Amino acid sequence: MTPPVFLVEAADLAADRVTVDGAEGRHAAVVRRIREGETVDLSDGRGLRARCTVTAVGGDHIVCAVVERREEPAPRPRLTVVQALPKGDRGELAVEMMTEAGADAVVPWAAERCVTRWKGDRAAKALAKWRATAREAAKQARRARLPEVADLADRTAVVELLAGADLGVVLHEDGASRLSQLEPPVGQDADVVVVVGPEGGFSDAELEAFDAAGAVRALLGPSVLRTSTAGVAALSVLQARTGRW
């Protein structure tokens, strides 16, 4: 079984002995009940991973001796999912599953037909929840790189993402091609952007704008998935097609 992952500052990982305190330390000592002699991984969330042996445990912290360090390169191609805002807590569910499935970036999108709207204080709180969900899901998945959760995007921002991608995909039930049939880009800087629409579907104006940006409309399969599950299904296909899995 792979060791649990705890997040620390990059500067802390330069030392041979690291004290994990604060919320991470309490989680390790109290929730996970880590014990002296166990092996854990510490990471800065940006690719640096340190394999450690726990040498001491306190009520709200653990002390770790670094055994080895390694820098994990960012996987390629980069996979970004633009997620239309789902209803209720399905947004956090989508972020959790997409993080576990290896998304490199998640972009919340205020589509025309979204029922949910992020405005004012609600927007800041909702975005904070998405980012906290991604952080915890990345730890659960033993990831050394946290996915980026971007600020709320509008149609113009999504068009820019699609236009700049090596492969831009809009998941749509009327797509002419299956996602599994698309040829993924290769190269050190290659990136794929996938757009997941809202419960009410894309508007004609959105589809026209995405088509003009060079995006491909692609079909996942014969069934229509919820907006909160389509992203993780698409990532699974792309992970296999690109060889990342």
Residue of 36, 55, 45, 61 lying closest to 5 (CA atoms): 45
158-190 confidence digits (pLDDT tens): 999 999 999 999 999 888 889 999 999 988 899
Query: What percent of the chain has pLDDT above 90?
Result: 91
- Do 29 and 123 lie in a common domain? no
Whether the pLDDT of residue 1 is over 80: the answer is: no
- Do 106 and 19 lie in a common domain? no
Rounded distance, CA 40 to CA 6, Å?
Answer: 8
Show which of 71, 88, 122 is a domain's final residue: 71
Strands 191-196 and 78-84 turn out to be: parallel
Show which of 55, 71, 87 is a domain's final residue: 71
CATH number at residue 209: 3.40.1280.10
Whether the pLDDT of residue 88 is over 80: the answer is: yes
pLDDT of residue 23: 94
Show which of 16, 43, 71 is a domain's final residue: 71
Q: Distance between the two ends of the chain, CA-based, in angstroms? A: 19
- Do 15 and 116 lie in a common domain? no
- Do 88 and 184 lie in a common domain? yes
- Do 99 and 213 lie in a common domain? yes
Query: What percent of the chain has pLDDT above 70?
Result: 100
- Do 53 and 82 lie in a common domain? no
Q: What is the mean pLDDT of residues 138-160?
A: 97
- Per the structure, the complete domain to which residue 63 belongs is given by 5-71
199-218 confidence digits (pLDDT tens): 999 999 999 999 999 999 99
The band of 147, judged by pLDDT with boundaries at 50, 70 and 90, is: very high
Tell if the pTM clears 0.75, that is, is over it: yes
Catalogue the E-assigned strands of 17-74. Answer: 17-20, 39-43, 48-57, 62-71
Q: What is the mean pLDDT of residues 42-53?
A: 97
Q: What is the mean pLDDT of residues 76-84?
A: 97
pLDDT of residue 90: 94
- Do 153 and 35 lie in a common domain? no
How many domains, in total, are found in the chain?
2
- Do 44 and 83 lie in a common domain? no
pLDDT of residue 187: 83
Whether the pLDDT of residue 229 is over 80: the answer is: yes
- Do 112 and 172 lie in a common domain? yes
Under a CB-based contact definition with an 8 Å cutoff, are residues 84 and 194 in contact? Answer: no
- Do 65 and 138 lie in a common domain? no
The band of 72, judged by pLDDT with boundaries at 50, 70 and 90, is: very high
Rounded distance, CA 182 to CA 167, Å?
Answer: 9
pLDDT of residue 143: 97
- Do 133 and 213 lie in a common domain? yes
Place of tokens 């699609």: 162
19-30 confidence digits (pLDDT tens): 999 999 999 999
CATH number at residue 67: 2.40.240.20
- Do 82 and 43 lie in a common domain? no
Under a CB-based contact definition with an 8 Å cutoff, are residues 175 and 207 in contact? Answer: no
The two three-digit tokens of residue 19, written as one number: 């004290």
Whether the pLDDT of residue 224 is over 90: the answer is: no
The two three-digit tokens of residue 175, written as one number: 């797509």
